[in-house]
């Protein structure tokens, strides 16, 4: 599905769904488990993306890229689209893309750069509301262990709950080489051993669907932010939300 199609799935009562998740977690207490992805779920990584493209622009004397801002990453991970949005001519986009992509890959999956991420609206408060129910909170991310320090630093900067190896866990890939889809499916077994999975939150339709199949009794929330662009339809029962801000 296209980005706009996912946004059309957002129902007017999505906040009630998030509140009901908190209510169910509260009723189960310490036996409840809630799983959260990081990138494009709790964190907006467009500032990280923009920083890398700015640095590439400086390194290659491309002034329009050196002025790249998060707003230029319109629909997620499409670097060519972002380069064009910054004002780079199509011919230069094509001639620079392969090198820019290598430059990006050397930096994006690092602690030094993920510290630039910003929290999704309401994310910090919602993580604390989850923990206040007594439930176990599990970050399940495709980031790898070498990004742990930067990830935790960013959580601390934005006021999200911090991993404590007890009630709040951060589950990461051992290395960058592991496939994200396979890793997350393997993480399902660990989640099931921790308790009763009440809810799972992810921006990737593939991962949201996997949660829906594995934990049919759980509420699966899809963040209608951005995603990898794979043409995947969300399964029935997966609920799309724009962010975590519940308001009054």
Tens of pLDDT along 163-218?
999 999 999 999 999 999 999 999 999 999 999 999 999 999 999 999 999 999 99
Instruction: Parse the chain into domains and list their residue ranges.
Output: 6-42+120-241, 45-115
pLDDT at 144 over 90: yes
Query: What gap in Å lies between CA 137 and CA 199, rounded to an integer?
Result: 10
Query: What gap in Å lies between CA 90 and CA 140, rounded to an integer?
Result: 38
Residue 205 has a pLDDT of 94
pTM: 0.93
Beta strand segments in the chain, E? 32-36, 43-44, 118-119, 136-144, 168-173, 196-202, 219-223, 239-241
Place of tokens 């709950």: 161
Query: What gap in Å lies between CA 75 and CA 46, rounded to an integer?
Result: 10
Q: b vs e for 208-245, b when ≥16 Cβ sit within 10 Å of the residue's Cβ?
A: bbbbbebbeebbbbbbbbbbeeeeeebeeebbbbebbe
Residue 5 has a pLDDT of 61
Locate 104 and state its tokens. Answer: 């990006």
With bands split at pLDDT 50, 70 and 90, how would you rate the model's confidence at 42?
A: very high
Locate 228 and state its tokens. Answer: 């990898």
Share of the chain above pLDDT 90, in %: 89
Segment 81-105 shows an average pLDDT of: 97
């Amino acid at each position: 599905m296209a980005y706009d199609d996912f946004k059309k799935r957002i129902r007017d009562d999505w906040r009630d769904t998030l509140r009901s998740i908190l209510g169910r977690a509260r009723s189960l207490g310490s036996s409840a488990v809630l799983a959260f992805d990081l990138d494009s779920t709790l964190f907006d990584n467009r500032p990280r993306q923009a920083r890398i493209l700015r640095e590439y622009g400086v390194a290659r004397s491309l002034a329009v890229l050196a002025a790249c801002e998060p707003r230029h990453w319109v629909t997620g991970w499409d670097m060519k689209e972002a380069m064009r949005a910054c004002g780079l001519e199509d011919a230069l986009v094509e001639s620079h893309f392969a090198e820019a992509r290598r430059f990006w890959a050397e930096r994006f999956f690092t602690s030094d750069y993920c510290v630039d991420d910003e929290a999704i609206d309401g994310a910090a408060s919602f993580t604390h509301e989850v923990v206040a129910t007594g439930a176990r909170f599990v970050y399940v991310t495709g980031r790898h262990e070498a990004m742990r320090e930067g990830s935790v630093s960013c959580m601390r900067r934005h006021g999200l709950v911090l991993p404590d190896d007890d009630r709040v866990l951060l589950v990461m890939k051992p290395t960058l080489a592991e496939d994200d889809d396979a890793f997350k499916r393997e993480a399902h077994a660990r989640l099931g051993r921790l308790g009763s999975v009440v809810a799972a939150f992810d921006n990737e339709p593939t991962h949201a669907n996997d949660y829906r199949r594995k934990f049919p009794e759980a509420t699966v929330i899809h963040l209608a932010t951005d995603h990898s662009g794979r043409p995947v339809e969300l399964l029935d029962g997966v609920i799309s939300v724009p962010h975590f801000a519940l308001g009054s």
